[in-house]
């Protein structure tokens, strides 16, 4: 789990919309790919899915007024989710700190 200080307070709902509108384009440009990314948002939790390559929830983001917690739920033995996590982390830092 990685914790990011929420310097510019952002709600889970606002972050959900930012992810949906901007994250896929950014990661696909960096990876020169066309990954499909899905999101689910309930209260202060956002789940991130990459359904074409990994089954189930890959990342969980928990948002509160002070910080954002990013958890990698991906199977790192079968898939190297570290690179995806780094891009997601960098995106969150850029948008929220």
pLDDT in tens, 28-61: 998 888 989 999 999 999 999 999 888 889 999 9
pTM: 0.89
> What average pLDDT score do residues 62-87 get?
83
Question: Which pLDDT score, from 0 to 100, does residue 29 have?
Answer: 93
Measuring CA to CA, which residue among 52, 50, 85 is closest to residue 69?
85
Question: Which pLDDT score, from 0 to 100, does residue 55 have?
Answer: 85
Element (H or E) spanning 62, and its range?
strand 57-63
Question: Which pLDDT score, from 0 to 100, does residue 76 have?
Answer: 62
Per-residue pLDDT band at 6 (split at 50, 70, 90) = low
Q: What does the alpha-carbon distance between residue 35 and residue 13 come to, in Å, rounded to a whole number? A: 23
Per-residue pLDDT band at 78 (split at 50, 70, 90) = low
């Amino acid at each position: 789990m990685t914790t990011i200080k929420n310097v510019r307070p952002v709600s889970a709902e606002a972050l959900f919309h930012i992810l949906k509108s901007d994250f896929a384009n950014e990661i696909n440009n960096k990876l020169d790919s066309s990954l499909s990314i899905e999101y689910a948002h309930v209260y202060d939790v956002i789940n991130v899915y990459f359904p074409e390559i990994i089954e189930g929830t890959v990342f969980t983001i928990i948002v509160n007024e002070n910080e954002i917690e990013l958890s990698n739920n991906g199977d790192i033995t079968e898939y190297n989710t570290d690179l995806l996590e780094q891009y997601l982390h960098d995106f969150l830092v850029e948008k929220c700190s």
